[in-house]
Structure 1
């Protein structure tokens, strides 16, 4: 059987996948050892919880930014699927969706920036890292997705309805 060859993975996506795997691996090891020490020996690693929370936040936002260009975010394509047969309406809907994505990114980015500024002078209790590292990935993710949406808007890239375009 001839199976379709997979599309080449962009280097930035590969780096994102590696970073997410590293975050997940370090979290798994830290939590595993913490559980074993806590239940087996009556003591734990205090830094495990802080480290896991920080890595989880970073992993989620790296994943969100990596999922956008691949079209892996949730999509409600019933209206777009109906308008796909009308090129002008579909093009207008695509532009509106891109503008809405950029507006959502602006709001997320603004809120995350405010939290980064607030967290600059605070430090985590156990590890002592600046608390600004917790909202920072939200800011970076918002900027990355906003820029990708802007590039798609400027290039006039149509919505990708390759995931079925059926009612979801």
Structure 2
């Protein structure tokens, strides 16, 4: 893939977003610990902010991991199908359909939580609680679309590593 394509830029953006989330979380927790143990008081918003950023970081990471094949994989079956082209293509299609189905279920459930959270706000920071399930919805949508594209393009299953028994 050439640097001009959007995928490497999106990967870099995802890595930057995850690093920013982790950095802000680390600073918030560190400041809160120092204030609690050093001065007997803390910043109440630190916990809410850290929770929100952690959820976003996890789902950004999950979305970025999908196209490079870094999700957990059971490669034993694929290893057994190596050399059997038709069976491997069928297994790949079934796997992609299962990914799309799982993404649809996750997106549906997450969207229901987003709708519920629109009317309520977090206790300390006051942000809409819909921001907590929103990254799950967006991640499921993105992974589902990527899996559908791979399914329609009949892209061979790429696990991002050699097909070894795991």
TM-score range relative to shorter protein? over 0.9
Answer yes or no: is the 8 Å Cα contact 2:73–2:159 preserved in 1: no
Q: Secondary structure at the match of 2:70?
A: coil
Structure 1 residues 29 and 161: CA distance shift in structure 2, 3 A: closer
Deviates more, 1:156-165 or 1:127-136: 156-165
Query: What is residue 165 of structure 1 aligned with on the other side?
Result: 163
Query: What is residue 3 of structure 1 aligned with on the other side?
Result: none
Structure 2 counterparts to residues 67-78 of structure 1, below 5 A: 67-78=65-76
Q: CA deviation at 1:164?
A: 2.5
Answer yes or no: is the 8 Å Cα contact 1:116–1:136 preserved in 2: yes
TM-score (norm 2): 0.95
Structure 2 counterparts to residues 80-99 of structure 1, below 5 A: 80-99=78-97
Structure 2 counterparts to residues 1-168 of structure 1, below 5 A: 10-168=8-166
RMSD: 1.4
Q: CA deviation at 1:163?
A: 1.8
Q: CA deviation at 1:156?
A: 0.6
Unaligned stretches of 5+ residues in structure 1: 1-6
Q: CA deviation at 1:165?
A: 1.3
Unaligned stretches of 5+ residues in structure 2: none
State the number of aligned residues. Answer: 163
Q: Secondary structure at the match of 1:10?
A: helix
Answer yes or no: is the 8 Å Cα contact 1:94–1:158 preserved in 2: yes
TM-score (norm 1): 0.94
Answer yes or no: is the 8 Å Cα contact 1:13–1:66 preserved in 2: yes
